[in-house]
């Protein structure tokens, strides 16, 4: 074992952190071997860098995480020729912005790795993640109704040139269809108002990060540019925080509205 081997192996564990925190999941190919074994617990076992990256991309997206930070320390490395074992302690921090304010989840544990020397340098062939503690974050026992209390509504309207309204509504329907799998959109409705050129808007969002991600989508940016060309004006949009969400039982109607 040389000090250079130890330094390179520690650098691999640090590179993993940067890949997750910058959401550069393609960089995980510089961390793991092409055929690896990564055990994150709870039956989350992955066998390639691409699968690991896809897993984290989905988890961070579904949970609406705005920022995350992974830190590693206290490395112990043992090198035996072209193989090595390593363990280190980690802390990970996840920040989510909701209408109720910032929510932070902190997790601590250990990465236990088996590594192999490759022509491209040291790579992790097997990783076992052991979680020792967790603070904050969503309450897993909370009901879906209670969790929806962090949702918010953006509603109101705007106007366009009357002769362009039908085109605007059709383009909006096409955009919504293209984004139907986008997480975080709970409701999305843009309809014609009775006034010529007037448009009504009702949208409901799971979190602030979901709305920001939606607005930053290149397809949404193109749609906003088209709205400007259609004479977009007189925006009357307001934001409403959802406090408690329950079914509305309306007399004489056979359904819950």
Are residues 17 and 94 both part of a single domain? Answer: yes
* Torsion angle, alpha carbons of 124, 111, 81, 11, to 10: 70
Higher model confidence: residue 85 or residue 208? 85
Are residues 132 and 177 both part of a single domain? Answer: no
Of the residues 92, 111, 137, the one at which a domain ends: 137
- Domain membership flag for residue 196: yes
CATH code where residue 210 lies: 3.30.70.100
- Domain membership flag for residue 209: yes
Higher model confidence: residue 201 or residue 43? 201
Are residues 168 and 122 both part of a single domain? Answer: no
Contact 140, 147 (CB under 8 A): no
* Torsion angle, alpha carbons of 195, 177, 153, 57, to 10: -160
Is the whole model's pTM more than 0.85, yes or no?
Answer: no
Are residues 152 and 222 both part of a single domain? Answer: yes
Are residues 132 and 151 both part of a single domain? Answer: no
pLDDT at residue number 234: 84
Contact 172, 190 (CB under 8 A): yes
Measured distance CA(128)–CA(37) in Å, rounded? 8
* Residues 109-139 pLDDT 10s: 999 999 999 999 999 999 999 988 888 765 4
Tell me how far CA of residue 53 lies from CA of 10, 27, 143, 211, in angstroms. 20, 9, 29, 23
Are residues 29 and 131 both part of a single domain? Answer: yes
* Residues 201-254 pLDDT 10s: 998 888 777 888 888 888 888 888 888 888 888 888 888 876 655 544 434 433
- Domain membership flag for residue 29: yes
Its domain, for residue 151, covers 145-241
| DSSP β-bridge partners for residue 45 | 39
* Residues 147-185 pLDDT 10s: 444 578 889 999 999 999 998 898 888 888 887 777 778
Indicate if the pLDDT at residue 142 is higher than 70: no
Element (H, E) at 131: strand 121-136
Arithmetic mean of pLDDT over the chain: 84
Token representation of residue 33: 């071997």
- Domain membership flag for residue 69: yes
Measured distance CA(165)–CA(43) in Å, rounded? 51
Measured distance CA(113)–CA(121) in Å, rounded? 15
Are residues 45 and 99 both part of a single domain? Answer: yes
Q: How many domains does the chain have?
A: 2
């Amino acid at each position: 074992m040389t000090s250079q081997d130890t330094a390179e192996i520690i650098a691999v564990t640090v590179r993993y952190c940067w890949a997750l925190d910058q959401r550069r999941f393609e960089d995980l190919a510089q961390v793991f071997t092409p055929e690896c074994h990564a055990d994150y617990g709870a039956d989350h076992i992955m066998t390639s860098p691409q699968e690991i990256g896809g897993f984290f991309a989905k988890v961070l997206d579904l949970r609406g995480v705005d920022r995350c930070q992974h830190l590693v320390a206290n490395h112990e490395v043992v090198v035996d020729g072209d193989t090595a074992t390593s363990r280190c302690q980690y802390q990970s921090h996840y920040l989510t912005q909701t209408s109720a304010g910032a929510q932070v989840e902190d997790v601590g544990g250990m990465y236990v790795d088996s590594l192999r020397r490759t022509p491209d340098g040291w790579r992790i062939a097997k990783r076992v993640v052991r979680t020792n503690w967790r603070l904050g974050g969503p309450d897993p026992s909370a009901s879906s109704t209670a969790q929806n209390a962090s949702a918010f509504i953006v509603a109101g309207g705007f106007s366009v040139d009357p002769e362009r309204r039908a085109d605007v509504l059709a383009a909006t329907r096409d955009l919504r269809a293209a984004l139907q799998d986008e997480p975080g959109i709970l409701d999305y409705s843009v309809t014609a108002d009775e006034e010529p050129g007037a448009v009504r808007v009702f949208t409901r969002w799971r979190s602030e990060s979901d709305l920001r991600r939606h607005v930053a989508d290149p397809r949404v940016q193109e749609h906003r540019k088209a709205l400007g060309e259609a004479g977009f004006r007189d925006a009357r949009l307001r934001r409403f925080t959802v406090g408690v969400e329950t079914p509305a039982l309306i007399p004489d109607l056979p359904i819950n509205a």
